[in-house]
Structure 1
Amino acid sequence: MNSESRHPMPDTGDIIERLEPGTGVGLRVCVVDDDEDLRDEVVLGLQASGFSVRGFPGSRELYRGLLHTPCDVVILDIGLPGEDGFSVTTSLKEVSSCGVVLLTSMTSIESRIKGLMDGADAYLTKPVDLRELAATVLSVHRRIATRRPEAGDETESGAPSITQTSATWSMSIDGWVLMAPNALGVSLTGSERLFLTCLFSHLNEVVRREVLVEAMGHRADYYLSHRLDMLVSRLRKKVLHETGVALPLRAVRGLGFSLTCMR
């Protein structure tokens, strides 16, 4: 357990009783803290208010968990062993649309600014009243749910300008919109844009994981494999949801990925 997380939560007995039953019904929350006692208190407190909550001791466990079951909001300690909460926040915002609430004993304005600039949606300090934490999670989720992706540059006709990279799938000239064969577009994040640009440059070829990671601006020996898998999983789901067409992106076990399109 790191020193950053050794801050007891307020006694949860009375607080849990005063939380509105059903407040968080339908909301999926992950709590990441290497302090097991504190993590369990937060998990139990939010579960008592109807949230669906899972707890993880660190980033690796979180990434594995999100590969199987996504979540709506992550409550994240900063002083984690290995990859710290600042880095995890940045990673989550690259590959996921979930909200991030930093819950930490770091009270300096520099830490607050860094956390928010790295992409956190809220910053709370320990110890925290569970009612405030629950209200913050709900508020963050409402803000995230009302956001709409940017459409990217458009022509005067209102449609994204297209470059025909393949006969079936294509990317806009600036690379920020993926176009499906049915002419529906999907706005891309920065990491998704770099990932797909690399694959479109090697259509129907297997591109190794380390090549894709470096194309996204990361060091292959530092970037966790689970983060790339999370990006791919979210991208597939997003494309299918927004276009109704499955992205022809194939994982090649032990090697990398291949985008299979007509040239």
Structure 2
Amino acid sequence: MMGTPARVLVIEDDDDLRDTLLRYLRGVGMLARGLESAEGLDAELVRQDFDAVVCDVNLPGEDGFSVLARLRSRSAMRIVMLTARGMANDRLHGLGLGADYYLVKPVNLRELEMVLHNLLQRSQEVQGQGTREPDALAADEATAQAPWRYHGTTWLLLSPAGQRVQLSSAEARLVQCLIERPREVVDRATLLAAMGRPGLEAYERNLDVTVSRLRRKAEQASGEKLPIVAVRGEGYSFQGNVRIVL
């Protein structure tokens, strides 16, 4: 996965799930340790540095949101929230506190592996830019943090730099469906239904064509790559910062 094994801390109070996660992550080459609550977190962080934390929201004692806020205030480590709470407000709250990704249970273990791989790979790329001029790094960071913005009433997508991408009806429905569940994998059937084409096998290829056309349109109009990524055999995910503008 990486040059050196990734060090991942899993904070999950369900013993069976925690054991499953640890076995899987260790099986794909990561150095994974587990905690059943946040009680031993500080001692664990003193004992060892971690590249990423996978944290449940509904923990006994200090909850996952509090853990997230505390970790983010003092560390740049990657943080994946893992929870049965799938409400949009919970996801937005977690992302607002600085979560890198938000996965809803039951978790696809392969998806978790891919999420960690991508997040840690991104961290390595950022570290590799350490010789660049500080002003250039600051500009890159500001651009990375700025959100894409979507105006649902006018079907207008704005890039982080403010460039306008006018969407068609099908593209707008697709984007709306994806950004309502940011950083989650939305299955193909759900996306097709959102586009008004549910359960029609003939439209399967049309979905891929629409995504491809949308990516090309966005890059031509804004000079930036639209962060919609394909997850083989499952669907698509919007992997960037995004804000819906009413």
TM-score normalised by length of structure 1: 0.47
Q: Between Structure 1 and Structure 2, which shows a larger proportion of helix residues?
A: 2
Largest Rg, 1 or 2: 1
More RCO (CA 8 Å, sep 6+): 1
